[in-house]
Amino acid sequence: AVEPGSPYRVVLLGASGVGKTAFANIFAGGADSMDSDDCELCGDEVSDREIEVDGETATIILLDTWDAEKGDEWTQERFMQIGDAYLLLYSITDRASFLRASELRITLRRFRPARHTPIILVGNKCDLVRRREVSTSEARACAAVFDCKFTETSAAMQHNVWEAFYGIVRQLRLRRDSK
Ligand code: GDP
């Protein structure tokens, strides 16, 4: 069995502007660090922390691919290879970002042919109800085709963000325990 402290690498993937940095900031525990002076930290690529899920501690190393969208294919391929699990983000207010998530899912499948890499399709910005461009039912159907879990979140309202991380840990444990 894997010792409980063994860290999981979780990668944030998605088009620019969907909320990856906001997710990373919530994870890092500095919900308002965006307004602080050390704004280099806004794009910080890596943070790690221990979280307790179902009474058991897990260590997550979170990798934010914020600069991988700028066309650096090598960087993107690295991220596709090194993750133990993926949060595939789009914005419910931006259909193009939803299509981008589909493309990323297909690319990911090429790098991760094993079907057991946990992936959660995450529709962020669900607080912006009136600007919705992607329906919940469409996204859920898409996630089923993609063989991944699905959730909607609002990083702005801190709604469902931690639940997405807990979901990833639970899936990683299921995989670990079935080995
Ligand atoms: P990234 O490019 O994927 O890292 O996206 P950011 O985290 O930088 O977010 C892009 C913009 O969307 C910023 O202005 C955020 O404040 C905003 N944003 C992120 N998440 C949410 C959300 O859940 N709701 C709303 N209303 N805005 C959000």
CA of 154 to the centre of ligand 1 (A): 9
How many Å lie between the centroid of ligand 1 and the Cα of residue 40? Answer: 16
Average pLDDT over residues 7-24: 94
Give the per-residue pLDDT at 76.
77
- Quote the ligand 1 centre to 143 CA distance (angstroms): 22
ipTM given for this complex: 0.99
30 lines ligand 1 (CB under 6 A): no
Is residue 22 lining ligand 1, measured as CB closer than 6 Å?
yes
pLDDT at 39: 42
With residue 73 as reference, give the H or E element that holds it: helix 73-82
Q: Which atom of ligand 1 is nearest to the CA of 66?
A: 4
At 97-152, the pLDDT tens digits run 999 999 999 999 888 876 689 999 999 999 999 999 999 999 999 999 998 999 99
pLDDT for position 129: 97
Ligand 1 lined by 97 (C-beta under 6 Å)? no
> Residue 110: CB partners within 8 Å, gap ≥ 6?
80
Label residues 45-77 b or e (16+ Cβ within 10 Å = b): eebeeeeebeeeebebbbbbbbebbeeeeeebe
First to last CA, the chain: 9
Distance 123 CA to ligand 1 centre (A): 12
Q: Which residues pair with 87 in a beta bridge?
A: 12, 120
Per-residue confidence (pLDDT) for residue 69, from 0 to 100: 62
Sorting pLDDT into bands at 50, 70 and 90, what band is 167?
A: very high
